[in-house]
Amino acid sequence: MAIDNPRIYGPPPYRIAVIHGGPGAGGEMAPVARELASVGGVLEPLQTAVSLEGQVQELQSIVTDHGRSPVTLIGYSWGAWLAFIVAARYPKCCPTFASSCWSGAVTSRGSNATLATRSTVRSGRV
């Protein structure tokens, strides 16, 4: 059975993507996506790849194929880490991310540690 990936909420353009925790928690961000859809189009990508690198590539591909840059990534738990990595590797596509439920909330525009880590992620050390 094929799944819709990404799930889409609201009208285009899709400039927000909500990233679920997991693995296996696909769909948990649907309430957030529905709420945010009142102000703009939202993507809810589901993680189907079985490796970290696969999930990074999958998320970047979904955002590039379905979103309109710049896309803000909003991640929860594992999704926060995944959003962070994608935002760090692909800053032109996803220059902003927000996280919830990892070791503190952080945004890509508000933390020197985050910006310093971007170069580490882009270099392939993460």
For residue 2, tell me if it sits in a domain.
no
Write the burial class of residue 39 (CB in 10 Å: 0-12 exposed, 13-18 middle, 19+ buried): exposed
The answer to whether residue 1 sits within a structural domain is no
Mean pLDDT by 10 residues, the chain (126 residues): 86 96 86 94 95 95 95 92 92 82 49 43 45
Q: What is the pLDDT of residue 29?
A: 93
Give the model's pLDDT for residue 103: 46
Q: Rounded CA gap, 18 and 12, in Å? A: 15
- Whether the full predicted model's pTM is greater than 0.85, yes or no, is no
76 SS3 class: strand
DSSP character at residue 63: H
Helix or strand holding residue 30 (H, E):
helix 30-36
CATH of the domain at 45: 3.40.50.1820
> Can you tell me the distance from the alpha carbon of 49 to that of 35, in angstroms, rounded to the nearest whole number?
27
